[in-house]
Chain A
Amino acid sequence: QKEVEQNSGPLSVPEGAIASLNCTYSDRVSQSFFWYRQYSGKSPELIMSIYSNGDKEDGRFTAQLNKASQYVSLLIRDSQPSDSATYLCAVNIRGNTPLVFGKGTRLSVIA
């Protein structure tokens, strides 16, 4: 089993809808979780960090963490065409080791 898994997509949603992006991870002791957005030809940009179970909201973005089920989600409300990008999930799997990145989910918001 890969350590961090994401559906590669593409995930297509209409403008104004909620986009739901999911990420599962393999190690129960993982403590830190991050969502990055990467536009085509650009570098990954941090959009959310979450460290404890539950929801964390920042503007139109909500990160949801469920450690018992080992998944972390990103919800994007009122999706805009400018949200079209690849979204990367990153997890600090254990201790003093580098983040492990999923391969990303490509999101397309259709106007």
Chain B
Amino acid sequence: DAEITQSPRHKITETGRQVTLACHQTWNHNNMFWYRQDLGHGLRLIHYSYGVQDTNKGEVSDGYSVSRSNTEDLPLTLESAASSQTSVYFCASSEFSNQPQHFGDGTRLSIL
């Protein structure tokens, strides 16, 4: 069965460190998305990609970057982790923009 996997599931790191969260999907979807979810804010879009070499900023992109070198993977990098980036991060994919997104299980990131 096709799936979308995120790793690690949990991570604790220190402020100022670079952190990369992995997202891998076997749906062969062109569209991939990164969200963060915090109490009171719901899902907030960080970055998204509509295909290889394509990346776009979402509503909360400052301090984050992504790159898309193949269809399956969209890693999310925190260049210099800040405590405000402590959150749960979800990766999702979809075939087209007007189709539903399928979510990974999430990564719980704590920055101390």
Interface 1/0s, chain A 87-108, versus B by CB < 8 A?
A: 0101010011111011110000
Say yes or no: A43-B48 contact (C-beta < 8 A), given A34-B100, A92-B97, A102-B42: no
Using Cβ atoms and an 8 Å threshold, which residues of chain A touch B105?
42-43
Q: How many residues of A contact B (CB 8 A)?
A: 21
Residues 68-87 of A at the B interface (beta carbon under 8 Å)? none
> Which of B50, B94, B97 has most chain A Cβ within 10 Å?
B97
Which residues of A sit under 8 angstroms from B33, Cβ to Cβ?
Answer: 98
A10 vs chain B, min Cβ distance (A): 14
Q: How many residues of B contact A (CB 8 A)?
A: 22
- In the complex, the chain B residue whose C-beta lies closest to that of A101 is B43
* Chain B: CB-nearest residue to A49: B100
The answer to whether B42 and A104 touch across the interface, beta carbons within 8 angstroms, is yes
Instruction: Answer whether residue B53 sits at the interface, using C-beta atoms and an 8 A cutoff.
Output: no
Report whether B90 and A43 are in contact in the complex, using a CB–CB cutoff of 8 Å. Answer: yes
Taking CB atoms, residues of chain A closer than 8 Å to B90 are 43-44
Chain A residue contacts of B45, Cβ below 8 A: 98
Contact assessment for B42 and A46 in the assembled complex, using a CB-CB cutoff below 8 Å:
no
Contact among B48, B50, B102, B106 for A46, CB-based, below 8 A: B102
Q: Is the CB of A95 within 8 A of B100?
A: no
A31 contacts the other chain (CB 8 A):
yes
* B103-A45 in contact (CB<8A): yes
Q: Complex formed: what's the CA distance from A65 to B59 in Å? A: 27
Determine the chain B residues whose CB is within 8 A of the CB of A44 once the complex forms: 43, 90, 103
A/B interface sample: 7 pairs, CB < 8 A: A34-B100, A43-B106, A44-B43, A44-B90, A96-B97, A98-B33, A99-B101
- Assess whether A32 is interfacial by the CB under 8 Å rule: yes
**Is B84 in the interface zone, CB < 8 Å from A?**
no
